[in-house]
Amino acid sequence: MNNLLKKYFGFDEFRPLQADIINNVMSGKDGFVLMPTGGGKSLCYQLPALALSGVTLVVSPLIALMKDQVDALKANGIAAEFINSTLTSEQISEICNRARAGEVKILYIAPERFALSSFKDFLASLEISLIAVDEAHCISEWGHDFRPDYRNLNQLKAMFPSVPAIALTATATIKVREDIIRQLHLEKAPIFISSFNRENLHIRVVEKKQAFYKLVEILKNHSGESVIIYCFSRKDTEEIAHNLVLNGFKARAYHAGLEANERKLVQELFIKDKVGIIVATIAFGMGIDKSDVRLVVHYTFPKSLEGYYQEIGRAGRDGLESECVLFYTYADARKHEFFIKQIDDAQQARLSEEKLNQVLEYCSLTTCRKKYLLNYFGEQQQADECQSCDCCTEVKEKFDGTEITQKILSAVIRTQNRFGKNYVIDVLLGRKNQKVLLNHHDELSVFGIVKDFSEHELGQLTTELINRGYLLKSAGEYPIISISKKGQEFLLNNETLELIKPQVDKTATKAKSKGKIEHNPELFESLRELRKTMAEEANVPPFVIFSDASLREMAHYLPIDKEAFSKISGVGAKKLEQFGDDFTRLIKVFVKEHGLSPEPLPAKTKVFEADIVKVAHPQYYAKTKELLQKKIPLARIAKNQNLKPITVINHLEKMIDAGERIDLEYLKLPRDRYEVMCRAFHEFGDEKLKPVFEYLSGRYTYDELQLARLLNRL
């Protein structure tokens, strides 16, 4: 296996768990593999396929990923093919004949094929040595990406009882894991769980104010690198991509509304490094086998932690330092909540609501984000800090949190330890909503006791107390918080406590470079250009030729002959033969011109791990901006364009969010009314308008409140 690993994939060593999984497969046993994106799942069935006598069947839901993986396998000299809806019947017939003749070692198929009796007959005619079910979480209704076609796969063990089957997924909670095993009848299979800790990923959450300006600053730190930006809607992807292009970036939108050919073109441009930035809905990413994505941005925060972890897993699959940024605002949660309310299945709606709340809690953390994520997937991080998330690496301002802790813990006790976090916050802020009044909690001594923290700040502080063990949070659909023994002792002993000052607005700084291999940047760029040229000639993505990690090793060790070049990580026998001469020739010329000396290569090498914006708007905002500059009243701006006032206010929010400088002072309501609304926002926070509307007894319309909130945020 070590010889095959080096010959076909160019690596000297297996990653953690790979050897154990492969040995299990080679002994003819079933297996379940839970390994994060970038951990090397594919190799666990691709390498055994080379040693087994027949064909390895790989079930994948992603047409684009099939093509990428087959291209990469063929580039390594491995006979691989795929069958899906993009092929003609003649092409499928030819592949089937080659598979029957033993000319195909790895065959990728889409799950819907199992619904066809003719396809089952075809499979029965093959010598199948191994079945791999990739993205296995798609079979579970409890997962974040359930696909009904995957349910057809529960027939696999009955169809091929003596063929080992391996299920692989990058994101699965314990509940999803158990469902996969039950559906695929893998109850006796060994379970392999790799660590979810991707040390080379630097993650942070950024407050979504002046978001487009911040996005541009972040992108400047990743100039010339591959970037994926996730958005909520198709419209958002088009707007942001358009604005980025007008700011000098090579960006394209990608969403399910595009024609199939257009989606395919965008994907090809991205994987071949002709477009560096893709702005996409979640329709994009899982199907991209691109190892050198250096930045993943969630411009709208995701609807589940499973989806989020899988999406950030698209970054740094080559093991090099990469960054993941999530823009956070509660307003985005309302978008998700709207669609959750449209779900007819009550159980599915409750599950979606629970998953959304977990994302909100993650965004509010002041303690280690990676520890929280690992715990969510059932893994314990030993250290309290990971040194690769914003909560651990950025300077934290602390304050004496004794008094606010006493108030929060007291409120939990006074409400009998039987309510959720948001309810307790409502009591502390003195909100007379229906539920509080019904429980007579407006009569408690803790009602309205907090005057110096907003709802959002109290949420962060309460989450910190939960993470530090002063409060307990129950599991389930509607978690309640209760005081812990540690919290009781804090109150009983009059202890003091320092807390982290609530703060979410982070500056756009580049991720730390921890443990990155030193290399010659000029040579690295020349090698990238050569790689790109070769990729275009072969009509494959550049990373299929060599990964960034391999190029950085070349730019560090400077191998000038094929013997030295063969020791570079990722250089297998076929790639040495195909590309060795061209790359060593370039390096040799560079070394001579710059008077450099090659570095001695170790006998074995490992994949090196690392551990004022120009704003453009869609055309339909142009008229709004023109009328604003003429100081036209809001109602007339709306009437002029046959729009509702609320739509014009949304235009304003979009422009301001993008960093536009507009004089809006003339729009302010009469001072006495404006100041009343501002005081209400200070009291209740400005994330939700309903509490402010009710507090002011409906004397102000929602349009007025939204405009006042916008002006108050400037």
Structure tokens at 65: 């990923």
161 and 207 in one domain? no
Q: For residue 132, what pLDDT is reported?
A: 95
Q: For residue 515, what pLDDT is reported?
A: 40
Site of tokens 């993009």:
86
Q: Does 514 map to a domain?
A: no
φ, ψ for residue 565 (rounded to 5)? Answer: -60, -35
Query: What DSSP letter does each residue of 508-569 carry, written as one string?
Result: --PPP--SPPP--HHHHHHHHHHHHHHHHHHTS-HHHH--HHHHHHHHHH---SHHHHTTST
φ, ψ for residue 395 (rounded to 5)? Answer: -65, 125
In the chain, how many domains are there? 5
The stretches of 540-670 forming alpha helices (DSSP H) are 542-545, 548-557, 562-565, 573-594, 619-629, 634-640, 645-657
CATH number of the domain residue 562 falls in: 1.10.150.80
pLDDT at 558 over 80: yes
CATH number of the domain residue 647 falls in: 1.10.10.1390
Q: What is the mean pLDDT of the chain?
A: 84
Domain boundary among 469, 500, 531: 500
Minimum mean pLDDT range among 70-74, 261-265, 276-280, 284-288: 284-288
Average pLDDT over every residue of 131-159? 85
- Residue range 625-674, pLDDT digits in tens: 778 778 888 888 888 888 888 788 877 777 766 556 566 767 766 777 87
121 and 108 in one domain? yes
The residue among 273, 228, 274, 272 whose CA lies nearest residue 253 is: 228
212 and 176 in one domain? no
354 and 289 in one domain? yes
- Residue range 386-433, pLDDT digits in tens: 889 998 887 777 899 999 999 999 999 999 999 998 899 999 999 887
Structure tokens at 576: 């040495």
Q: Does 599 map to a domain?
A: no
Which is higher by pLDDT, 289 or 123? Answer: 123
Q: Does 507 map to a domain?
A: no
235 and 165 in one domain? no
Confidence band for 72, pLDDT divided at 50, 70 and 90: confident
pLDDT at 247 over 90: no
Give the best-scoring range by mean pLDDT among 137-141, 513-517, 651-655: 137-141
19 and 141 in one domain? yes
Confidence band for 166, pLDDT divided at 50, 70 and 90: very high
Q: 417 with 423: CB under 8 angstroms?
A: no
DSSP 8-state symbol, 419: B
418 and 380 in one domain? no
pLDDT at 108 over 60: yes
Q: For residue 211, what pLDDT is reported?
A: 85
**Mind spelling out the 3-state secondary structure of 447-460?**
CCCCCCCCHHHHHH
373 and 483 in one domain? no
Q: Does 483 map to a domain?
A: yes
Q: Does 608 map to a domain?
A: no
In terms of residue numbers, what domain contains 144? 2-193
384 and 351 in one domain? yes
Q: Does 565 map to a domain?
A: yes
- Residue range 453-491, pLDDT digits in tens: 888 789 889 988 998 889 998 866 568 999 999 999 999
Using the Cα atoms of residue 186, residue 190, residue 191 and residue 193 in order, give the sign of their dihedral: negative
pLDDT at 507 over 60: no
Q: Does 226 map to a domain?
A: yes
pLDDT at 496 over 90: yes
φ, ψ for residue 411 (rounded to 5)? Answer: -65, -40
φ, ψ for residue 358 (rounded to 5)? Answer: -65, -35
Distance CA 295, CA 225 (A): 8
- Residue range 354-394, pLDDT digits in tens: 888 888 889 888 889 999 998 888 787 777 788 899 988 87
φ, ψ for residue 204 (rounded to 5)? Answer: -155, 155
CATH number of the domain residue 428 falls in: 1.10.10.10
Distance CA 370, CA 275 (A): 31
Q: For residue 511, what pLDDT is reported?
A: 36
Minimum mean pLDDT range among 200-214, 356-370, 514-528: 514-528
Q: Does 510 map to a domain?
A: no
Read off the pTM.
0.58
CATH number of the domain residue 248 falls in: 3.40.50.300
Structure tokens at 670: 């009469």
The residue among 519, 576, 578 whose CA lies nearest residue 549 is: 519
Average pLDDT over every residue of 249-266? 87
361 and 348 in one domain? yes
226 and 113 in one domain? no
Domain boundary among 393, 424, 443: 393
pLDDT at 109 over 90: yes
206 and 176 in one domain? no
The residue among 236, 333, 232 whose CA lies nearest residue 283 is: 232
* DSSP bridge partners of 31: 166
Q: For residue 279, what pLDDT is reported?
A: 94
Domain boundary among 376, 393, 410: 393
Q: For residue 607, what pLDDT is reported?
A: 35
